[in-house]
């Protein structure tokens, strides 16, 4: 079993929105049709996006952290949006675990978006069908692309490598290792949806200084300066005591 | 959630249609056992079925306006194994077809005796159709209610109250309508139907108040802490990621003020239950039959307000992610 997913490192995300724009660029240009924008330069702009970067402030001044939080479809292992679809347009691929919408079958009833607690499905107002992150399924298997580019557009665009892509069911994959070693967690675990995308928490890079690093263990009497010169006849142990 | 007029009309109209048909079948079954005077098919049951049919078909037509791609609506019968919406899409036309056939059978006085009860009472085709229709009507109430009750994180909806109240409110509005209808077609039945309408309206009142109390006590399971997975009592969103609107900011919010929501919460129990119950009780106590059509109209308007509130009250956890523009 393969379950492709993104692992997003909140520790290094700087909220630059590069993943948002690259996602929009790739997915609005594909054969599946445009992600429509309305009034892009007007008073009340609106449009369809698969990926959003949000910003949260955690804590109270002066002890605050600004957390940039990218959010796209989590490709749940138990997706609540799939069984509610009356037409079967919303489905989860058995081969790689990607949750997709068949735009030719979708009737635009919006029921799947009601059934998603994360709010990652957006109805395209022009095509009148439900749209969502595809993990760039039209990219990651494209053999015409160089192997290094067979990744979702957002992953390639991220300047700080905050987005990792891979198979979370393979314990040796980079994403599994990142989740394991850096305490990756899923969102809203209370609903039992088992999101495949994981988030790596903020981590403080702390320098640990041990006591014996502050006090020289070879100077127990704390006498500064050069050590007394041993006599020439005395045996020498190292460069310090030898002539 | 945003109350969409097409869904408000769908759920209230088909509920009243189902209730009206159930009232007709109730009259027929009572008459079968000699508890009520028998009614002529062409004068009572056929026009009653026609009104139910109009309500059901109007509701079905309204539902198409909810769809982005109504021309593909036929596809929605596919996933009945998993989706309550798909099940509703199958049961609703089946029920409409049955109401039509049953109405036509009454109109043509087509009633071959299919069976005989041990007491010697003949059971004709219209009775059998009525019983099948009863099963379908309850199945439809179940499907409509479960569409909402089966979404666990919409906690205002995810309770047995949703299904029970859809059934009771549909039954109440249908019986009130049947009582008003009988004023012209079968005045001897009016007290019977008005009494049942009163009972169902009071039951629906109790059920809806109970669900209001339940929902007022709900504590959200999802919080900003679980939404972004950070353990801190004070988390504030400073940007939802875009300056304009999106599907997420429109579909999951009723778009009215808190005061408006609160006023509807007080208005709908009065209009949907209290006033109709008072009018029905006044009729049962001997007041004029003109009260019954008034009760039916007020109750339907009240149920529209009830359905608006049903949607507006439901707080979707995705709203946690869309709180600040910046």
- Give pLDDT tens digits for B134-168: 999 999 999 999 999 999 999 999 999 999 999 99
Torsion over CA of B18, B22, B23 and B24, rounded to 10 degrees? Answer: 100
Beta-carbon separation of B241 and A55 below 8 A: yes
Top residue of B67, B93, B227, B233 to mutate, by most chain A CBs within 10 Å, is: B227
Is residue B177 scored above 90 in pLDDT? yes
In this prediction, residue A237 has a pLDDT band, given cuts at 50, 70 and 90, of low
Q: If you measure CA to CA, which chain B residue comes closest to A203?
A: B230
- A22-68: per-residue pLDDT in tens? 999 999 998 888 999 999 999 889 999 999 999 999 999 999 999 99
Which one, of A57, A193, A201, A238, lies nearest residue B229 by Cα?
A201
Is residue B243 scored above 80 in pLDDT? yes
Q: Which helix (H) or strand (E) holds B250?
A: helix B247-251
- DSSP per residue, B68-128: S-GGGGGGGGTTTTT-HHHHHHHHHHHHHHHHHHHHHHHHTT---EEEE-TTS-EEEHHHH
Which one, of B307, B281, B322, lies nearest residue B148 by Cα?
B307
- Residue A53: strand pairing partners: A70
Q: Average of pLDDT values for A103-129?
A: 96
Is residue B75 scored above 80 in pLDDT? yes
- Spatial CB neighbours of B322, under 8 Å, sequence gap ≥ 6: A119, B240, B246, B248, B249, B252
Q: Average of pLDDT values for A187-216?
A: 87
CA distance A236 to chain B (A): 58
DSSP 8-state assignment for residue A88: S
Which residues in chain A are contacts of B62 at CB distance < 8 A? none
- Spatial CB neighbours of A234, under 8 Å, sequence gap ≥ 6: A241
Give the span between the Cα atoms of A189 and A168, in whole angstroms. Answer: 17
Which residues in chain A are contacts of B150 at CB distance < 8 A? 84
Beta-carbon separation of B251 and A89 below 8 A: no
Question: What pLDDT, on the 0 to 100 scale, is given for residue B324?
Answer: 86
**What is the CATH class of B5-320?**
mainly alpha
Q: What is the ipTM of this complex?
A: 0.92
Tokens describing residue B260: 């408006």
The count of CB pairs under 8 A between chains A and B is: 176
Give the span between the Cα atoms of A83 and B313, in whole angstroms. Answer: 25
CA distance B143 to chain A (A): 12
Q: Which helix (H) or strand (E) holds A100?
A: strand A99-101
Give the nearest partner residue to B228 out of A20, A67, A108, using CB atoms: A67
Q: If you measure CA to CA, which chain B residue comes closest to A68?
A: B239
Is residue A146 scored above 70 in pLDDT? yes
Tokens describing residue A156: 């390639």
Beta-carbon separation of A128 and B69 below 8 A: yes
């Amino acid at each position: 079993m393969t379950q492709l997913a993104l692992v997003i490192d909140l520790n290094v995300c700087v909220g630059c929105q590069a993943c948002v724009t690259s996602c929009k660029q790739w997915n609005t240009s594909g054969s599946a049709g445009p992600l429509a924008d309305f009034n892009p330069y007007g008073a009340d702009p609106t449009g369809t996006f698969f990926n959003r970067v949000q910003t949260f402030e955690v804590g109270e001044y002066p002890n605050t952290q600004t957390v940039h939080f990218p959010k796209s479809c989590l490709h749940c292992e138990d997706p609540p949006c799939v069984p509610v679809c009356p037409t079967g347009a919303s489905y989860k691929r058995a081969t790689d675990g990607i949750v997709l919408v068949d735009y030719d079958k979708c009737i635009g009833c919006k029921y799947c978006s009601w059934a998603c607690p994360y709010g990652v499905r957006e109805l395209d107002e022009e095509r009148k069908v439900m749209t969502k992150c595809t993990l760039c399924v039209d990219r990651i298997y494209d053999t015409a692309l160089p192997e290094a580019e067979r990744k979702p557009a957002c992953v390639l665009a991220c300047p700080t490598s905050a987005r990792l892509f891979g198979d979370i069911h393979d314990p040796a994959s980079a994403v599994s290792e990142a989740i394991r070693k850096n305490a990756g967690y899923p969102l809203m675990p209370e609903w039992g949806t088992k999101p495949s995308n994981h988030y790596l928490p903020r981590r403080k890079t702390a320098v640990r200084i041990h006591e014996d690093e502050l006090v020289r263990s070879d100077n127990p009497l704390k006498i500064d300066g050069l050590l007394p010169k041993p006599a020439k006849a005395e045996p020498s142990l190292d460069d310090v005591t030898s002539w | 959630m945003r109350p969409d007029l097409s869904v408000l009309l769908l759920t209230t109209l088909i509920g009243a249609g189902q209730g009206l048909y159930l009232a007709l079948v109730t009259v027929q079954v009572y008459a079968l056992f000699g508890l009520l005077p028998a009614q002529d098919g062409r004068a009572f049951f056929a026009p009653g079925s026609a009104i139910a049919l109009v309500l059901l078909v109007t509701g079905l037509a309204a539902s198409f306006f909810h769809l982005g791609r109504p021309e593909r609506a036929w596809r929605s019968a596919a996933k009945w194994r998993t989706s309550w919406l798909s099940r509703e899409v199958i049961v609703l036309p089946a029920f409409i077809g049955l109401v039509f056939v049953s109405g036509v059978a009454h109109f043509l006085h087509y009633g071959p005796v299919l069976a005989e009860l041990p007491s010697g009472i003949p059971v004709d085709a219209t009775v059998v159709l009525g019983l099948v229709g009863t099963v379908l009507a309850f199945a439809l109430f179940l499907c409509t209610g479960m569409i909402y009750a089966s979404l666990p994180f919409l906690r205002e909806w995810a309770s047995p109250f949703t299904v029970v109240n859809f059934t009771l409110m549909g039954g109440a509005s249908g019986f009130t309508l049947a009582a008003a209808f009988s004023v012209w077609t079968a005045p001897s039945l009016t007290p019977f139907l008005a009494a049942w309408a009163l009972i169902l309206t009071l039951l629906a009142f109790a059920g809806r108040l109970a669900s209001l109390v339940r929902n007022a006590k709900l504590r959200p399971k999802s919080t900003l802490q679980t939404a972004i997975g950070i353990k801190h009592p004070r988390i504030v969103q400073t940007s939802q990621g875009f300056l304009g609107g999106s599907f997420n900011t429109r579909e999951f919010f009723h778009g009215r003020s808190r005061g408006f929501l609160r006023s509807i919460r007080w208005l709908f129990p009065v209009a949907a239950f209290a006033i109709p119950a008072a009018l029905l009780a006044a009729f049962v106590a001997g007041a004029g039959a003109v009260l019954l059509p008034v009760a039916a109209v007020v109750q339907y308007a009240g149920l529209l307000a009830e359905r608006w509130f049903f949607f507006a009250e439901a707080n979707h956890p995705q709203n946690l992610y869309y709180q600040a523009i910046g």
